[in-house]
Structure 1
Amino acid sequence: MKICVVGLGNIGFNLFTYLDQKFSGEVIGVDVNESRVNELRRKGHRVTTDYRALTGIDVWLMAPSTGNQGQNLFSALEHMIICPGSLISIESTLPPGTMMRIREFLEQRGFKLGTDLFLIHVPHRVMFGVDKTVCDTPRVMGAFTRACLEKGREFYNPLVPLLVEIADVRVAELSKVVENVKRYVDVAFAQEIYGYCVTNGMSFDDLRMAVNSKNNVELLATDWGIGGECLPKDMNFLRTVCPSALLEGAEQADQDYRERIVKQVGSGKEVWVRGLSYKTGVKDLAHSRGVDLVRALEASGNTVRVEDPLFSPDELSAAGFNPIDELKGNYDNKNENHLATRVILDRQKALEIK
């Protein structure tokens, strides 16, 4: 069996390394990012940028970032040399309606689903910092035909703890988007309640402890805002097909929350921002609201210094930030005039400015 993972970002590479351990010598990865491929090659991984080298592939696992309309996915499909009898699994999160477009694309190329080509949708699930691989949690699988479901079952059943089969592929497609948007709304709600607690001098931590003592309720923690690539993107996916005052309000609540932090700081301060990564425990600055916060504070006329336990001062400097110099901080603590203009922001206490 020859397996190809298409797209070698965070999700795709995690899938690639997991499968490479399971099917040693049978897995290859492809990505259009030449520098990324060269980096992975130097580390000994079997990867390429050339789709022409990918012949006789039995299983295609599609994990590229989709783009707003799935354009990255269709670009990959255009370049793939698809053999009759192969399985194509779309693992990327999709705008609702994309699987039907993929079906039409493949049928226009002469393939009949369930007979000479097997198409399934198995949207990835992973919580980086919690799950080790994208196959550690139950997975949902949808398809257009029973034969496609059966083919997908043969491949995924040995890999995941539970495979939830859905006959209507639209439900599988929507399920991942709804998962992420529900979390978006839950976080936006937590931000609103946190702001209320701060305004009224109450402990949000104590409130969470009280609320979460009921086993079917969870009041989430807050951060610098709702970041990452997935949640804002999937909110846009859902709002495009499902206009909703609730979803619009959640987006506005998050925007208001982030703007409130900047307004509370004001201008002309030295600001220490503690915690810059995409989220706690994940060493990644891409799509980080912490990064957005630093830039917004700088644009407001503040001098901003940062620290993050996952990054060294040199790494932060290389990324274009001013790291907190603890020796300088200790010296300045003796200088009351300087201390009066300093503001300290901690990611878990974003609105509680010190």
Structure 2
Amino acid sequence: MERLSLKDVKKNFGSTEVIKSVNLSVDDGEFVVFVGPSGCGKSTLLRMIAGLDHVTDGTIAIDGDDVTGMLPLDRGVAMVFQSYALYPHMNVADNIGFGLRIQGMKKAERDAKVAEAARTLQLEPLLARKPKALSGGQRQRVAIGRAIVKNPKIFLFDEPLSNLDAELRVQMRLEIARLHTELGATMIYVTHDQVEAMTLADKIVVLRDGRVEQVGRPIDLYEDPDNMFVAGFIGSPKMNFVSGTVVETSDEGIKVKVPEMGDVLLTVRPRAEHRATGSGVRVGFRPEHCAITETGIAATVRVTEQLGNLSYLYLDTAGGGSLTVEQRRLTAHRPGAQVFVTPETDHILAFDSEGRRI
């Protein structure tokens, strides 16, 4: 069942159009993540769903009801912000239950909801504490508890983990995933962190300059991107891109000559028939889809990153290009070493001059 629908939604700030005709549907119980570079419109779109920013044009519907002009309180949504926004003079229990008190809920019912949220978030021992006596992760759990007690139709998260250190981010990411499973709730989550997007999402929405570039399952965006922007944005380290020219087409695919790799010929299997011999293309392949071999593309190791379970080699090719190669465990190659690289043909992608997948 469709829980949320956005139809031709636009947002202008003065003469500047920041959201450009976005269409999107979110099913009941889905975990949807908005990703994209800074300034692409992720938070603005979330705030329009919440009712905190007005819509310049288009409609937003929740459970089939048009909520475009409704106040935030009437939409059945709850938002968790990047800043915890806790009241410093209130204890944890009062912070969680404050919104219910404002709505006029009776104390007994309010206390029961606060207790239930505290159990879900493992905050029961902390209910009497003030925010200053809590860690960053505990404060974020209190902010999430304040959303849970409202029993909203949709949870909205605006980069909720960005203020936490790396270890706490991992813990809270697991907590949010657990909550989604336990509550079966519809959640929309804004982040610039690809790991959060890939691990949490049922569906990822990639935004750029106020437009939706692609919507799909995390693995689909990773393995089958629609364009060069999505291919480069999803994945870390980013996909290798090199420029080339189509010199031959056959039933096996297209052969692309790549000058910056010493005029090597790469075979690409395009999505559809491609007969544009002589046309310029951009070829992409991920660091884990190329290997160090005895022959192939000649390169020199510029930098190595040893991560224990993985190593990344940053290479300069003989033709003046650069590549990143992933290796399992520690690598024996050191800066200055001469190596050869061979990409896996089944994982090479090609894009036209405007960045569209071919």
TM-score category by the smaller chain? Answer: under 0.3
Point out which structure has higher relative CO (alpha carbons under 8 A, 6+ apart). Answer: 2
With the length of structure 2 as denominator, give the TM-score of the two structures.
0.26
